Structure 1
Amino acid sequence: MSREQDDLLRRGIGMTSQRTRERLIQRLYEEGLSNARVLEVIRRTPRHLFVDEALAHRAYEDTALPIGHNQTISQPYMVARMSELLLAAGPLDKVLEIGTGSGYQTAVLAQLVERVFSVERIQALQDRAKERLSELNLRNVVFRWGDGWEGWSALAPYNGIIVTAAAAEVPQALLDQLAPGGRLVIPVGAGDVQQLMLIVREENGFSRHMLDAVRFVPLLNGPLG
């Protein structure tokens, strides 16, 4: 990482003190997260840039916050947890993200993997996310406005796929776009009954692992201007 990029990523420490960020990282560690790279990226990524100014004072709380359009920025624990699951088998060079949202998870991934391809159905959200990542000088992300249920077949396959909204069932298109050995991390379920699922594409099919109980906004169909 260049010194310029590091300076940009550290911007705003005066608004939300370094001590506040360190407390967040300590809490994540105490909750069982242990990937040093992931925790360091969470620590230095300025989450307050991804929320409305009125909520900036809460940016380093371990909680989801509204970002408009009935969407939320995921709590830091869940961003770190899903990133750890995605990277558990080793480095990844090509990751598909379904649900750009605020761009916070996108920014974290961009510092952990070689390339990120991010799909968002709400154009206004994605436009703002593009601006934020550009300001942070994160240049290894390609965006698409479209239906997350369809993935991004033109650029498949992907070594990793991460979904930031809950699907009633796992979209077949995402399974089809997963490379051999690739990992898909997705919340599955309807309403308040959701579980985080890890799916690995193996030689003779897919292995599925049901993990944490979670609560995400629903994964909806169709692009929205």
Structure 2
Amino acid sequence: MTHSTWAIDIDRDDITSTETVAAESEIGPHEILVQIDSFAMTANNITYGVFGKPSGLFGNDQGYWDFFAERAAPGRLPVWGFATVLVSDIEGVAPGDRFYGYYPMASHAVLIPGEISDSGFTDVTPRRTTLPPIYNRYQRVDAIPDYRAEHHDLWPVYRPLFLTGWLIADQFEDDDDYGAEQVLIASASSKTAIGLGHAMKQRANRPRTIG
């Protein structure tokens, strides 16, 4: 079965060079087709494009372009958003199910669900299996404990970098704050800074935070 879709191709050497292309998404065994309903476009996504090629960020020879495009193909910019399953015969992932996660800047995406549970699934497309798993996990919207419909549009904007801020705060706590008495939080990534400041504030014993 094939479905007409569109995607935005990006020149890996010049991210200002883009082209909207039509494509046919043919669904093979073990694959599902999702329709991307909405996604966020922020400075964070531009970072994905700038560091799309292998740069050592992932500890291997892969980069952000490798999530949704083969090496010989134009880049497909990763974005955070929501999608609805359009075609699936995979047990535990049914048409109409909605998932929050990492998608290409496109109308649709083909994924291979693995590690399926009530909370979601992991995309086990071969090129993604050696990339950081946090990007490969898709959360079932109906099963997210802190999801609220009124916050729907804020999730793709704030959620990914809030998690980054929380992880930084967790690392500080694990390492006894590196002996620091105060922490200056800059706003090079404002949403990460907000998340870090919030997470640090939750601790009873912590350095003084500024910013």
Structure of larger gyration radius: 2
TM-score, normalised to structure 1, is 0.28
Normalized per residue, the structure richer in helix is 1
TM-score, normalised to structure 2, is 0.29
